Amino acid sequence: MKTFILFLAFIAPTVVFAASSSSIAWTPETLNFVKHGNAEKGKELAQTCAACHGEEGVSAMPETPSLAGQLATYTYKELRDYASDQRSHPVMTSIAKGLSDQDAADLAVWFASLKPAVGEAGKQLAKAEKMVEEGDGKRILPPCFVCHGANGQGEKLDIPALSGQRADYLAKTLLEYKTGQRHNDIYSRMRLIAQQLSETEIKDLAQYYQQSK
């Protein structure tokens, strides 16, 4: 909540998109529902995800995200957003439409229980690191860490973990926020940021987070 208030201060002069962007509203009922997802049931259902997202939820395919260790609330939200066409992708839309609310909660809790992918140190990415830690006051860009956490581990509710995530996926989805093709971020939080990032910055930030632990 604190980070959200902080962010509202950042975007106060801009207009917040009026149309609802997600099928999910974070009511106590929704939170309670996701929290009580059945991991055993989720594990069974997850067999149909393994070919793409990996046996243990760690993806080996560049543009397919890992799901292991992701916040259950975030995974649940994304599955419901694909199902309601608030987020779209040729493969995931039809898969998510075949899942019930309960299936989505069960899967989300199962994937959250798995060990996250671990990043490996690689390139020095000083500019990306600066953006993550300090943002850019000139462009009213808040540092990524205020929302995504000091180690990219994600924060409450719908702010996903990014560390160890596949760089090609991160870059692709950031570009989609930038163009508005992906628009299921509540309050336009990621679109407002991605719009201001250059394609080079996006590539470097994606690589930075893949490498981060």
The minimum distance between CB 65 and ligand HEC, in angstroms, equals 4
- Identify how many contiguous H helices and E strands the chain contains and give both numbers: 12, 0
Q: Give the C-alpha separation, 49 to 55, whole Å.
A: 8
Q: Does 105 bind ligand HEC (CB under 6 A)?
A: no
Q: Give the C-alpha separation, 206 to 213, whole Å.
A: 13
The minimum distance between CB 114 and ligand HEC, in angstroms, equals 12
Q: Does 174 bind ligand HEC (CB under 6 A)?
A: yes
Q: Which of 74, 132, 129, 45 is nearest to 65 (CA)?
A: 74
Give me the amino acid identity at 147: C
Q: Does 153 bind ligand HEC (CB under 6 A)?
A: no
Residue numbers 34-93 binding ligand HEC by CB under 6 A: 45, 48-49, 51-53, 63-65, 67, 75, 77-79, 89, 91-92
Q: Does 154 bind ligand HEC (CB under 6 A)?
A: no
With b meaning 16 or more CB within 10 Å and e meaning fewer, what string describes 182-207?
bbbbbebbbbbbbeebeeebbbbbbb
- What is the contact surface with ligand HEC in residues (CB under 6 A)? 3, 7, 45, 48-49, 51-53, 63-65, 67, 75, 77-79, 89, 91-92, 95, 107, 131, 142, 144, 146-148, 158-160, 162, 170, 172-174, 184-185, 189-190, 193, 205
